[in-house]
């Protein structure tokens, strides 16, 4: 046994440093940082913002209809005299939670379906043809159909968008599983007597998490945009409870006279989508070693 047994102390430090390699790379990634800051600000605003303003987002005041941005109404007021700033802050809660729910639900179901199809090859053609059939519809059209069928409420938006994004997630997960299932460490586990469940949980899932997380950040962003689009079409969360989408939808008839009603929630949607996309790009660069990182 003459192999160089590395001295314990420096190795330990090296190991510690390497363990945080991903975090360090992320910290050095410019667009990831911008995205993270954007998203963090929006989430913070949505959580603590409403507490600070202390105004009811549904409180109407006929006397202060269509006030342009001023000290009293920093973002102006809408046709019922409601404070747009407060509504955007409250709307952020609904819009961001719709985005998060859609990302989580399509992540869980997409991963389950993708792993099933990729790992149990006998099921693959059936499962994936079903997913292909769902994917044949444009996501927004499918969501409109499901949303219309379930009625206008926040939960039906979540269901509709999840159904639209599950096949896309499943396809990505399946692709990673197809690569992983050929890896020798799966055979090694099988030789050790491991069953399918053990192999899936310990070997397959951890190794396809990277692409999945990246995909979910994009779905988060799409879901916020889609919520706005669906609300615009009248199948979003019903008024008077504000979401970014339905504030825009309510303001569209007055967009010439009262531009501020649409502008601020629109900005919030754009910033959230931009932030999540930048964050996702950063994660993709760092988690996928095949791509060269440009910072």
Q: Is 51 in the site for other proteins (CB under 8 A)?
A: no
Q: Is 192 in the site for other proteins (CB under 8 A)?
A: yes
Contact range with other proteins by CB under 8 A, out of 85-93, 194-202, 216-224, 263-271: 194-202
205-264: contacts with other proteins (CB under 8 A) = 206-207
Residue in 203, 211, 281, 284 binding other proteins, rule: CB under 8 A: 203
Neighbours of 267 (CB within 10 A): 13
Contact range with other proteins by CB under 8 A, out of 48-56, 161-169, 186-194, 240-248: 186-194
> How far apart (Å, rounded) are the C-alpha atoms in residues 101 and 173?
19
Cα–Cα–Cα angle for 46, 52, 57, nearest 5°? Answer: 65
Phi and psi (nearest 5°) for 79?
-70, -15
Contact range with other proteins by CB under 8 A, out of 8-16, 41-49, 151-159, 262-270: 8-16
Residue number, 72 or 198, with CB nearest to other proteins: 198
DSSP summary character for residue 20: T
Torsion sign across C-alpha atoms 258, 260, 263, 269: negative
Contact range with other proteins by CB under 8 A, out of 29-37, 79-87, 184-192, 258-266: 184-192
Q: Is 14 in the site for other proteins (CB under 8 A)?
A: yes
Taking Cα atoms as reference points, which of 203, 213, 215 lies closest to residue 118? 203
How far apart, in Å, are the Cα atoms of 69 and each of 52, 53, 72, 162? 18, 15, 8, 37
> How far apart (Å, rounded) are the C-alpha atoms in residues 42 and 272?
7
**Would you tell me which residues interact with other proteins (CB under 8 A)?**
1-3, 5-6, 8, 11-12, 14-15, 18-19, 183-185, 187-195, 198, 202-203, 206-207
């Amino acid at each position: 046994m003459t192999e160089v047994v590395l001295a314990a102390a420096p190795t330990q430090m090296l190991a510690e440093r390497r363990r945080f390699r991903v975090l360090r790379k992320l910290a050095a990634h410019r667009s990831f940082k911008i995205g993270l800051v954007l998203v963090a600000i929006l989430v913070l605003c949505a959580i603590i913002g409403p507490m600070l303003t202390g105004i009811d987002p549904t409180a109407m005041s006929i006397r202060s209809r269509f006030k342009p941005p001023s000290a009293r109404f920093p973002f102006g007021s809408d046709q019922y005299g409601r404070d747009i700033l407060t509504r955007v802050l409250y709307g952020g809660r609904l819009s961001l939670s719709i985005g998060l729910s859609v990302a989580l639900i399509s992540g869980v179901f997409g991963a389950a379906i993708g792993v099933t199809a990729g790992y149990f090859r006998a099921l693959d053609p059936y499962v994936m043809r079903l997913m292909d059939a769902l994917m044949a519809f444009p996501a927004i059209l499918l969501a409109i159909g499901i949303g219309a069928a379930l009625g206008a409420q926040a939960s039906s938006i979540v269901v509709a968008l999840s159904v639209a994004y599950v096949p896309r997630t499943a396809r990505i997960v399946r692709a990673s599983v197809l690569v992983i299932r050929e890896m020798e460490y799966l055979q090694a586990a099988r030789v050790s007597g491991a069953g399918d469940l053990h192999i899936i949980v310990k070997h397959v899932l951890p190794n396809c998490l990277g692409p999945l997380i990246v995909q979910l950040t994009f779905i988060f962003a799409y879901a916020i945009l889609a919520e706005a689009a669906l609300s615009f079409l009248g199948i979003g969360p019903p008024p008077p409870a504000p979401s970014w989408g339905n504030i825009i939808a309510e303001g569209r008839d007055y967009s010439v006279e009262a531009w501020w009603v649409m502008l601020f929630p629109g900005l919030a949607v754009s910033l959230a989508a931009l932030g999540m996309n930048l964050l996702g790009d950063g994660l993709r660069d760092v988690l996928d070693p095949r791509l060269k990182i440009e910072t």
